[in-house]
Every structure is written in C-alpha cells, then in structure tokens.
C-alpha cells in the first residue's frame, strides 16, 4: 500500500487490516473485483505477491500469476516440442471460468494472506525475542558494572578506614 501510494500506479482498492480477522468469505469481494477488471479488459494479467513462510527464521517474497490462469509447469513447456494439444471443455471454457476459477482464486488468495500474516507474526516474534535477549544481556552487563563500582567503593572505604586508624594509633 505504501509502495504504490508513493508512485504513479493507481490503487483500485484497499483492504487495511484484513489479515488479522480474515475468513475465506472475505476473499470473495476481492476476487470478484479482480475478475470484473479482468473480464472488462482493464487488466491483462493479475499477479499475487505475498510473503511465503519457509521457517520461523526465513520468509521469502513470492509472486504467482493468477490470471490468465496457467496451470502448466515450466518443465512441461520445455518437454513439449510438438503442437499444443487443445483441451476440450464440456461445458464451455466460459462456464468453467465462471465456476471453477473464482473458487480457485478464493483459496489461493486466502492461503497467501494467511501465509503472509504468519510470516509477519513470525518475523515480529523473532525480533521481539532478539530484543528481549539483548535487553537481558544489557541488564547482565549493567549489573556487573554496578557490582564492580560498588566493590571498588567498599574497598576504597576500607582502605581509608585502615589508613585513618593507623594515623590515630601513631
């Protein structure tokens, strides 16, 4: 949101804070708006970019093409050297698009938002854990410095008392 807000790219819709309480039904509005723009020809391609959760220590940026839908793998395209086989749909490709693709997009969008939210929370947790560890180490170092200063003050007082008592007895 901040990235595109600072540039000349138009922002069609904004859904702030949707990840915290998102349910699959919340994706319907977003997907319907996206499909509407795609069908009207206002957009040629739709990509979904999100943060993929790899591990608590690692998250990766990932972009996938949603529309036009392409379900073939890159290696499948390399192996295919002959003419492309056309798939015959019954019912029509339009009917398939109208019924299956929205359901697919609901699931993909929901999964991406949940995974991004999980990645964000994991990164926050790791940052807080590092901050807590640093604070504990800092407290430990400050306690050590305090104890050294206190010990030096006690030693100095003892030295002064011993030196003062030697003066009195002389």
Name the residue among 56, 71, 48, 27 with its Cα closest to residue 127: 56
**Element housing 129 (H / E):** helix 93-168
Name the residue among 107, 108, 120 with its Cα closest to residue 53: 120
Name the residue among 4, 3, 12, 6 with its Cα closest to residue 42: 12
Name the CA radius of gyration of the chain, rounded.
32
Per-residue pLDDT tens digits of the chain, which is 170 residues long = 788 878 888 888 888 888 888 899 999 999 999 999 999 999 999 999 999 999 988 999 999 999 988 766 655 555 555 566 666 667 777 787 788 889 999 999 999 999 999 999 999 999 999 999 999 999 999 999 999 999 999 999 999 888 888 776 55
């Amino acid at each position: 949101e901040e990235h595109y807000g600072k540039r000349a790219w138009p922002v069609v819709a904004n859904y702030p804070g949707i990840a915290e309480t998102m349910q699959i039904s919340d994706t319907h509005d977003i997907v319907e708006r996206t499909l509407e723009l795609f069908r009207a020809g206002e957009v040629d391609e739709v990509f979904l970019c999100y943060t993929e959760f790899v591990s608590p220590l690692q998250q990766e940026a990932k972009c996938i093409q949603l529309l036009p839908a392409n379900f073939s793998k890159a290696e499948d395209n390399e192996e295919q050297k002959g003419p492309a086989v056309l798939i015959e749909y019954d019912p029509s490709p339009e009917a398939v698009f109208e019924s299956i693709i929205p359901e697919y997009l609901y699931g993909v969008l929901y999964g991406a938002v949940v995974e991004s939210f999980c990645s964000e929370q994991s990164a926050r947790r790791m940052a807080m854990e590092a901050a807590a560890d640093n604070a504990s180490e800092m407290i430990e170092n400050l306690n050590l410095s305090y104890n050294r200063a206190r010990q030096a003050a006690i030693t100095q007082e003892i030295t002064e008392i011993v030196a003062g008592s030697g003066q009195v007895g002389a």
